[in-house]
């Protein structure tokens, strides 16, 4: 396949494919980063695990009516996706207090929230992905009010679908980050990835962390946690 590198991020590379103007190739890297790139490592096999895990989640969401960029997993660490322009908004949805909710507002870690909290962060490495409001989004011209309403509605639907799926696998969906893109028709669709890099997953019985917090805070072996997630969602 003739491909050209278009973009390299911290965890993935995006390529255009010669002769296929509507499709990108998304390659998952082995790099692990945290705290806006301050902590870094290469973890053998992480790209493969995240590609497999993301593919399963995307297929599940598509089969439940969620529009996504996912087309096909084509190798251990690569998937084909629809070409989209990514909106510079990171959408975080939370069900249980953890991470920056604890740090910023003093919630007790593990507290169940009365209802899901959606937050928006400005996708900007230079600015350190700051938390921002809808007014900032409109002022910066990143999305219109009706686009943001679609994003919020899709995020809540995705949250319910993932939560219901995961609890059957004895996994609590604590929080997660989504990115959305606009396809060639201007439709807003789910993009990026859904993996233990971008979600907090806790064992439903023990609250053991099965996600990137193992790497962020040196809690345990990242690979073992990601294999555990893959095994549970595959069965
Ligand atoms: O750190 P914080 O608590 O705000 O993270 C909320 C959720 O968003 C976590 O699941 C984390 O993995 C994800 N996240 C992400 N990329 C970022 C920031 C947070 O995937 N740049």
Distance 93 CA to ligand 1 centre (A): 9
117 forms beta bridges with: 94
Phi, psi of 200 (to 5 degrees): -100, 125
**What integer pLDDT is reported at residue 1 of this predicted model?**
85
CB count within 10 Å of CB 186 equals: 8
Overall pTM surpassing 0.95 (yes/no)? yes
Instruction: Give the span between the Cα atoms of 222 and 36, in whole angstroms.
Output: 18
Q: Distance of alpha carbon 26 from its chain centroid, rounded? A: 14
**How many degrees, rounded to 5, is the angle at CA 186 between CA 22 and CA 155?**
105
Asked if residue 16 lies in contact with residue 24, where contact means CB atoms within 8 angstroms, the answer is yes
Low-confidence ranges of the chain (pLDDT < 70): none
**What integer pLDDT is reported at residue 24 of this predicted model?**
98
Sign of the CA dihedral with 203 first, then 207, 212, and 218 last: negative
Question: Alpha helix (H) ranges present in the chain?
Answer: 46-63, 100-105, 134-139, 145-167, 213-216, 222-234
Phi, psi of 151 (to 5 degrees): -60, -45
- Residue 92 CA, closest ligand 1 atom number: 8
**What integer pLDDT is reported at residue 235 of this predicted model?**
84
Radius of gyration for the alpha carbons in the chain, expressed in angstroms and rounded: 17
Among 50, 198, 213, say which to mutate for ligand 1: greatest number of ligand atoms within 8 Å of CB.
Answer: 198
- Residue 197 CA, closest ligand 1 atom number: 12
Ligand 1 site, CB within 6 A? 90, 92, 99-101, 129, 175-177, 198-200, 212
Summarize pLDDT for 47-84 with one digit per residue, the tens: 999 999 999 999 999 999 999 999 999 999 999 999 99
Distance 92 CA to ligand 1 centre (A): 7
- Residue 199 CA, closest ligand 1 atom number: 10
Closest CA to 187 of 118, 87, 91: 87
Interaxial angle between packed helices 222-234 and 46-63, expressed in degrees from 0 to 180 and rounded to the nearest 10: 30
3-class secondary structure, 21: strand
**What integer pLDDT is reported at residue 173 of this predicted model?**
99
């Amino acid at each position: 396949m003739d491909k050209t590198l278009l973009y390299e991020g911290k965890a993935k590379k995006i390529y255009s494919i010669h002769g296929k103007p509507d499709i990108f190739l998304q390659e998952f890297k082995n790099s692990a980063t945290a705290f806006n790139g301050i902590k870094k490592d290469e973890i053998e096999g992480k790209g493969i695990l995240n590609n497999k895990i993301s593919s399963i989640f995307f297929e599940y969401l598509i089969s439940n009516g969620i529009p996504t960029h996912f087309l096909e997993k084509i190798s251990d660490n690569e998937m084909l996706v629809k070409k989209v322009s990514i909106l510079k908004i990171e959408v975080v949805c939370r069900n249980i207090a953890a991470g920056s909710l604890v740090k910023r507002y003093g919630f007790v870690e593990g507290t169940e929230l009365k209802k899901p909290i959606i937050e928006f962060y400005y996708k900007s490495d230079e600015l350190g992905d700051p938390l921002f409001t809808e007014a900032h989004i409109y002022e910066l011209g990143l999305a219109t009010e009706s686009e943001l309403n679609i994003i919020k509605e899709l995020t809540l639907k995705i949250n319910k679908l993932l939560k219901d799926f995961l609890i059957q696998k004895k996994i609590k969906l604590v929080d997660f980050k989504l990115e959305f893109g606009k396809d060639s028709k201007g439709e807003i669709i789910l993009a990026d990835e859904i993996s233990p890099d971008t979600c907090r997953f806790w064992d439903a019985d023990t609250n053991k962390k099965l996600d990137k917090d193992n790497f962020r805070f040196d809690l345990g072996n990242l690979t073992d946690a990601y294999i555990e997630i893959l095994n549970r969602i595959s069965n």
